[in-house]
Structure 1
Amino acid sequence: MVSIGEPAQPRISVRNLWKIFGPDAVILRNEEWVQTASQREVQERTSHVIAMKDLSFDVGEGEVFVVMGLSGSGKSTLVRCLLRLIEPTSGSIKIDDEEILELGDKELIQLRRKKFGMIFQHYGLLPHRKVLENVAYGLEVQGIDKATRNQTAWEVLGRVGLDGWSDAYPDELSGGMQQRVGIARALALDPPILLMDEPFSGLDPLIRREMQDELISLQEQVKKTIVFITHDLNEALKLGSHIAILRNGEIVQLGTPEQIVMSPADDYVAQFVQDVSKAKVLAASSIMEEPQAVLYDEQGLAECVQTMQSNGMKYAFVVTPDCVVRSVVRIEDAVAALETGDNSLSDIAIHNFPKCGPDTLVEDLVTLAAEYDGPILVAGSSGELLGEVKTNAILRSMATLPVSSADKS
């Protein structure tokens, strides 16, 4: 069993989840030899198929949890078990701390209607209904009056960039636009959880990237809890806050994109990530350093020059007592001003300088570093100094190779 540390308030909590296809699944699940047997061995000996084996994980509120694997790995079975469209053989699935495997049929229907929005690869649009009617369909099923559901449908169509297409029919839309309708239909119900089973896999590469970018932008607005299924590693790394990699029904590694790429759990994962640019997963927080010293507004120029020279600093951040960065000073400017008799730090302060947040990816820092020869400020939400990233740190991080399982042993 592979699991991850529990979020403070997991919206979805899965424990020891098994799904075995076959008439004697429950009996087989409890046989000791099955616990360590491979998927192939069980199938050859019993003609039963282990689709999921002892899966445990938590999905925090508002995060995008990606389940990645090749065909037959069990990822689509998992997402259907979360809805109980397929009944698990054993285990526990809690949604907001409610055990859904104990729900009756009526309670389960209400759970699906109130808690989940579903978006699949095949859009499932009603061809005889216009776009607005497709988006409003779930609300219609819930008995919402026409005026209210149409207003909601209008609003979510605007969110997904389909203003002006409400009167079109599905066959008049491109594949990407049809998938936007599918996303809008799910959002119209305002569910706290979205289950997305390979929603972009049928799209051409350019449209697929556009849809990924739109999902990221949309998630910043709606902050849904998303379980996203994919077979594409780059998609998983781009979208996921955590990624579970499945193989033959088992989780072989669960972690952040950075953990997956930089520390693959075994050779199987290492093969997946061997061609991935580290710049796509490493964040500024992973490579930032603490500045050797900082300057304060009230300091005189002579004191500032002494501080910078004694620490070998070409640049220094000027901060408030609360460590909020106001400006940057270059040593050459400070020395030149001091030689002319100027003792004011504000006269040479640079207010336009590159900065980033702790989660900014290295690939985004490259452009900043190319246009600026000083350290890049890593700041918190209030502008407070968290650290600095130097150009050589960026280059070192991009040259770092992931550690293979053989290297670890």
Structure 2
Amino acid sequence: MARHGNNPQPADFETEGYIGAARNVSFDVYPGEILMIMGLSGSGKSTLVRAITRLNDPTTGSVLIDGVDLMKASPKELIELRRHKMGMVFQNFGLLPHRSVLSNVAFPLEVRGTPKDEREKRAREMIRLVGLEGRESYFPRELSGGQQQRVGIARSLAVGPDIWFLDEPFSALDPLIRREMQDEFLRLQKMLKKTIVFITHDFAEAARLGDRIGIMKDGELVQLAPPAEMVARPANDYVREFTREAPRDQIITVGSICDRSHGPPAEDAVPADAKLHEVASKVLSSQSPIAVIANDGTPLGSVSRHSMIAALYPERAQ
């Protein structure tokens, strides 16, 4: 488990002339989780990731990875952690133009001192994993933007990181290629089950990829919740504005809006993790509430036409 926390800022923080790029932020990242961090430009989301990885040192606070505080790590220990536990992918790809795809992917292993045969074998495995087999000898200039991003992803995975940091990796791509890369990302995560912190400014992307979403504003984390909960119950007007154009029927789950105080018999129930669009026909055509059950069959409550319409069209329910 990775954990990041900032202690309250010093009393003289403003008088000393500091700008709080990330302030009083504290959260856990769980094994195998995709945690999305988003916000407008200047909200502090990229600064937060740079603080977690100590590319920028926090003014105060702690960053714990498996109980080890990165703030107390020596430069040598920090290098080893980055080489062995962390993988990073950034928006600008950062490929070495004079090196082939194979050499680019193998580069972090070369820096680590891995023998050539071993690192090239590992690099070929990663190239095959991201669907670029046959392009090992290509140079970055011979690849499309999506292919270059795949090389960056393969390179970051070559070291077998426990934690994967991605800072707006798809934002420079065309919409169709971006969707393709999101599909590729989900495919890889299904196989690799990495612990991931993913920065984006796109709520649709965050909702599609993330297990939880954290929204930053003025350096503070204003809400951290699963996508369905955030859309159904935004913490404030700022979050509500982010979720306004979200495809609510494809994000909100039945379990997040069901009435848990009582429910009808569960013979004809719908699962709590079903998205609203998956059960809309059944619920909206019923004159009485429909039972909602957990994955293990435990009754959770019920969902009615009124609650579904209120979730889909909150402005009409007010």
**TM-score, scaled relative to structure 1:** 0.68
1:359 and 2:261 are equivalent in the alignment: no
Higher relative contact order (CA 8 A, sep 6+): 2
- Opposite residue 15 of structure 1, the aligned amino acid is G
Partners of 2:303 and 2:119 lie apart in 1 by 53
User: Who is 1:80 aligned against?
Assistant: 50
1:126-168 deviation line (CA, Å, top 9, x unaligned): 1111111111111111121222212211211122111221121
Secondary structure (helix, strand or coil) at the match of 1:49 reads coil
Contact 2:291/2:301 (8 A) holds in 1:
yes
The answer on 1:396 being equivalent to 2:309 is: yes
Partner of 1:122: 92
Mean Cα displacement is larger for which, 141-150 or 393-402? 393-402
Q: CA deviation at 1:191?
A: 0.5
In the alignment, does 2:8 pair up with 1:15?
no
Aligned match for 2:265, one of 268, 288, 292? 292
Q: CA deviation at 1:47?
A: 4.3
1:327-354 deviation per Cα after TM superposition (whole angstroms, max 9, x unaligned): xxxxxxxxxxxxxxxxxxxxxxxxxxxx
Residue 235 (structure 1) aligned to one of 205, 208, 213: 205
Distance 1:131 1:402, change over 3 A: farther
Residues 207 and 402 of structure 1: CA distance in aligned 2, closer, same or farther (over 3 Å): farther
Separation (CA, whole Å) in 2 of partners of 1:171 and 1:210: 20
* Count of paired positions: 311
Q: CA deviation at 1:400?
A: 4.3
**Structure 2 CA distance, aligned partners of 1:82 and 1:190?**
19
- State the Cα distance separating 1:277 from its structure 2 match: 2.4
Aligned to 1:209: 179
Residues 231-271 of structure 1: CA distance to partner in whole angstroms, max 9, x if unpaired? 11111111111111111111111111122111111111111
Rounded to whole Å, the distance in 1 between the matches of 2:111 and 2:49 is 23
Question: Following the alignment from structure 2 to structure 1, what is the Cα–Cα distance between the partners of residues 266 and 225?
Answer: 35
CA distance in 2, matches of 1:192, 1:402: 43
Q: Which amino acid aligns with 2:276?
A: V
Percent identity of the aligned residues? Answer: 44
State the partner residue of 1:265. 235
Q: What CA distance in whole angstroms lies between the structure 2 residues aligned with 1:388 and 1:217?
A: 33
CA RMSD of aligned residues (A): 3.1
Structure 1 range deviating more: 54-63 or 236-245: 236-245
Q: Which residue of 2 aligns with 1:142?
A: 112
Contact 1:369 1:376 in 2 (8 A): no
Structure 1, 145-154 or 178-187: larger mean CA deviation: 145-154
Contact 1:284–1:362 (CA under 8 A) maintained in structure 2 = yes
Q: How does 1:130-169 map to 2 (within 5 A)?
A: 130-169=100-139
After TM superposition, the structure 1 = structure 2 runs for residues 18-37 of structure 1, keeping only pairs within 5 Å, are: 29-31=9-11, 34=13
Q: Which residue does 1:255 correspond to in 2?
A: 225
User: Is the Cα–Cα contact under 8 Å of residues 229 and 252 in structure 2 kept in the other structure?
Assistant: no
CA distance in 1, matches of 2:38, 2:306: 31
Partner Cα separation in structure 2 for residue 251 and residue 136 of structure 1 = 36
> For 1:269 and 1:263, how far apart are their aligned partners in 2?
9
CA distance in 1, matches of 2:241, 2:104: 42
Aligned to 1:222: 192
Whether contact under 8 Å (1:55, 1:250) holds in the other structure is yes
Deviations 1:270-317 (A, max 9, x none): 1111222221221243467966264xxxxxxxxxxxxxxxxxxxxx69
**After the TM superposition, which residues 35-74 of structure 1 pair with which residues of structure 2 at under 5 Å, given as runs?**
42=14, 47-74=17-44
Label 1:369 to 1:388 Cα distance change in 2 as closer, same or farther (>3 A). farther
User: Cα offset for 1:76?
Assistant: 1.0
2:228–2:256 contact (8 Å) kept in structure 1: no
Cα deviation, residue 48, structure 1: 2.9
Contact kept, 8 Å, 2:292 with 2:303, in 1: the verdict is: no
- The CA distance in 2 between the partners of 1:169 and 1:116, in whole Å, is 25
| 1:395–1:128 Cα change, 3 Å | same
Q: Which has the larger radius of gyration?
A: 1
Which amino acid is the alignment partner of residue 237 of structure 2?
A: D
Q: 1:284 to 1:76 in 2, by over 3 A?
A: same
